[in-house]
Chain A
C-alpha cells in the first residue's frame, strides 16, 4: 500500500508550487467537525467553517495561500475551491 503514498509524497515534493493538494472530489466529511479535522490533518489552518447555500464553506490557509473550500454535506466531497 505504501508505494502510492510514496509516489504522492514525491510528486508533492517535486511540485512545491502546488501548495493546495486538494481537488474537487477530495473526501473531507459531511459535518463541519469532520471537515475541520480532515483539513487539519492535511496541514491546513482552518480559520472558519460556515453554512453557505446548503454547502459547508471552510476558510483555509496553507503555506501563505488562502482558499475557500466548499463541501457538499451529502457526499462529503469538495464541490468547489476558490483560491484568493
Chain B
C-alpha cells in the first residue's frame, strides 16, 4: 500500500455499506431535495416523489431486520447512554472509529427515519377526505419538514466533523461502500 495518498500505511478498506443501504440513502436524499426545492407542494408529482421516498425508507427499515450485519438495527441500537459515552470519548480526544453508524450518528439515523415517516403520514393524510383542508395536519407536515431540514444540516455537519476528527472519509464510504480505517483505531 506504499504510495497511497497521505501515506496511509496500515489503513484497511472495510466493506460496511451494501448496495441497498447506499441506494436507499442517496435515493431518499434526492427525493427530499426534489420535493423541498423543485416540485409544487400541491401537485401530483410532489405526492409521487413522497410515496417513492416512503417506499425507500420502508425498504431500508426491512433491511434493518434481514440485511447484512452493519445494516441491521443490532449494529446501531438507539442508545442515548451510548451516545453520551461517545460524546465523552470524543471530548477526551479518543479517536476510535465505528464500523456501522457511531452512537451519535445512530440517534441521527433514527431521528431522520422517524421524521420522514411523520412527513409521509401527514402528507398522505392531507389527501384523504377526513383530513383534507384540516389545518393542524398541514401545520404538522410543515413542522416535520422544518425539523427535517434542521436535521439534515446537523447530519451533514456531523459527518464532516467526524471525517475531520477520525480521518475516515465517511461520505466516500456511503458512495463506495468501504470505510478506509487506520488499523489501530478499530473499535467495532
Whether A48 contacts B135 by the Cβ 8 Å rule is yes
Which of B7-15, B114-122, B125-133 is the interface stretch?
B125-133
Contacts of B135 in A (CB 8 A): 48
Q: A68-B42, A82-B42 are in contact. Are A59 and B129 (CB under 8 A)?
A: no
B129-A64 in contact (CB<8A): yes
What is the number of contacts between chain A and chain B, taking CB atoms within 8 Å? 21
Q: Which residues of B contact A68 (CB under 8 A)?
A: 42
**Count of interface residues, chain A, beta-carbon cutoff 8 Å:** 10
CB distance from A66 to the nearest CB of B (A): 4
Give the CA-CA distance A47 to B133 in the complex, in Å. Answer: 5
Q: Report the count of interface residues on B (CB-CB < 8 A).
A: 7
Check if B134 sits within 8 Å of A48, measured CB to CB: yes
In the complex, are the beta carbons of A48 and B129 less than 8 A apart?
Answer: no
> With an 8 A cutoff between CB atoms, is A21 at the interface?
no
A46 nearest CB neighbor, chain B only:
B133
Taking CB atoms, residues of chain B closer than 8 Å to A66 are 127, 129, 132-133
- With A61-B129, A66-B129, A84-B127: A47-B42 Cβ-Cβ less than 8 Å: no
When chains A and B are docked, how far (Å) is the Cα of A59 from the Cα of B129?
Answer: 11
Alpha-carbon gap, A47 to B135, bound state (A): 9
- Pick 7 A–B contacts, CB within 8 A, sort by A: A47-B133, A47-B134, A48-B135, A59-B133, A60-B133, A61-B133, A66-B132
